A and B are shown apart, each in its own frame.
Chain A
Amino acid sequence: MNLYTFASPVTFYHLAGKLIPWFTWSAILLTVVGLYLSFFVAPTDFQQSEAYRIIFIHVPAAWMSMFIYLVMAFWGAIGLAFNTRLSFMMARALAPTGAIFTFIALWTGAWWGKPMWGAWWVWDARLTSELILLFLYVGIIALWAAIDDIKRGDRAGALLTLIGAINIPIIYFSVKWWNTLHQGASISLTKAPSMAKIMLIGMLVMAIAAWFYTIAVALVRVRGIILERERQSEWVKEILERET
């Protein structure tokens, strides 16, 4: 099977090394284009004035935070089902970036909410689910940190990610339900105004930039993990000879 060659750490280490510059430069290029679109091309919103420009990072960060979690759950499931070491390493490499994007989504949500809703924080369904998502990320990272044994850590983290992934839709639904019942206590949120096409394009470009950034960072991290775990093998020794 050809697929298994890519699943072997040594092949993947070299493949990742070749891919990282591509993803890095694509991410930089797309970020520049995205920032240009969001600040110089997208027009002023007639309702929200200039403050709406925050959504060009807020929405992509929120997308990434959820997407990365799903990818981690996917790698965890693959690892548990087929016992592939590399998929566990990918899950570990993705988690910190996912947590950072979750934090960014919360932070920018607060700084957008203050001028728009008049409050830094409202217990809105999306913000609250995002906060719980951050707790899930922190829990998974803390579990990995607490377990010294690599094999046990990999599997325990994957199981926790999976049960979280099953739970996230339920959490989102319950928080939304709770939010509609308590509408009187919270500020009624204005519906997002119909977005101009250029705003949507700007957001998509930023989202793809964030995606490439995530891939680049995760590949760098997974290379470190591979070296660490394969340190007894000959090829790692050769690489260390050559690179340092």
Chain B
Amino acid sequence: MEWASWSDFWSMGGYGLYVWGSYGVTALCILIEILLLRRSAGDTRRRLKRMQQWEEQ
């Protein structure tokens, strides 16, 4: 184990800002991609469904 304590872990030997700045934004990018993808997948299905019902009427 490299770290004596949690605060030691978060400070990353003084480079905390840079390490967490990188990891944080990466996580954010991936999170946003997943959320957008989920929403657009739902949207596509709902829209197609609506178009289909429209045609049946």
Chain A residue with Cβ nearest B37 = A220
Find A53's partner among B12, B26, B34, B41 (CB 8 Å cutoff): B12
Chain B 16-57 interface residues, beta-carbon cutoff 8 Å to A: 18-19, 21-23, 25-26, 29-30, 33-34, 37, 40-41, 44-46, 48-49, 51-52
- Interface SS of chain B: helix
Q: Are B49 and A240 in contact (CB under 8 A)?
A: yes
Q: Are A244 and B45 in contact (CB under 8 A)?
A: yes
Instruction: Show 6 residue pairs from A and B whose CB-CB distance is below 8 angstroms, ordered by the A residue.
Output: A43-B2, A51-B19, A53-B12, A217-B37, A231-B52, A237-B52
Additional 14 contacts, C-beta under 8 A, given A104-B25, A115-B15: A49-B15, A50-B15, A54-B23, A96-B33, A100-B30, A107-B22, A107-B26, A108-B26, A111-B18, A112-B18, A112-B22, A115-B18, A237-B52, A244-B45
State the B residues within 8 Å of A (CB). 1-3, 9, 12-15, 18-19, 21-23, 25-26, 29-30, 33-34, 37, 40-41, 44-46, 48-49, 51-52
